[in-house]
């Protein structure tokens, strides 16, 4: 799990919407970029200005989809008449 802390209300809103809709969110912290599902968005009540802690479950990189068979070599139907 990846934990991210922010005070930006627009960013927190984006994470809450992603969590509610079950979509993945991307966080860029420093040089690293993490993409995954938002597990929780917690407000730290004792801090001023308000801060939030976001927990993300990262997803591994997707493998490239390999075609099941080679592309068809058949000519289009229209080429038979020209």
- The model's pLDDT over 39-72, given as tens digits with 9 standing for 90+, comes to 999 999 888 889 999 999 988 666 677 777 766 6
Banded pLDDT at 15 (limits 50, 70, 90): very high
* Secondary structure letter of residue 9 according to DSSP: H
Q: What is the pTM of this model?
A: 0.68
Return phi, psi of residue 44, to 5°: -90, 105
Average pLDDT in the chain: 84
pLDDT exceeds cutoff 80 at 28: yes
Q: Can the peptide bond before residue 8 be classed as cis, meaning omega within 30 degrees of 0?
A: no
């Amino acid at each position: 799990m990846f934990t991210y802390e922010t005070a930006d209300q627009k960013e927190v809103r984006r994470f809450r919407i992603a969590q509610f809709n079950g979509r993945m969110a991307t966080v860029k912290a420093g040089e690293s970029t993490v993409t995954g599902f938002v597990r929780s968005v917690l407000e730290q009540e004792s801090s001023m200005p308000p801060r939030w802690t976001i927990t993300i479950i990262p997803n591994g990189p997707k493998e490239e989809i390999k075609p099941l068979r080679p592309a068809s070599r058949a000519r289009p139907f229209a080429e038979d008449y020209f």
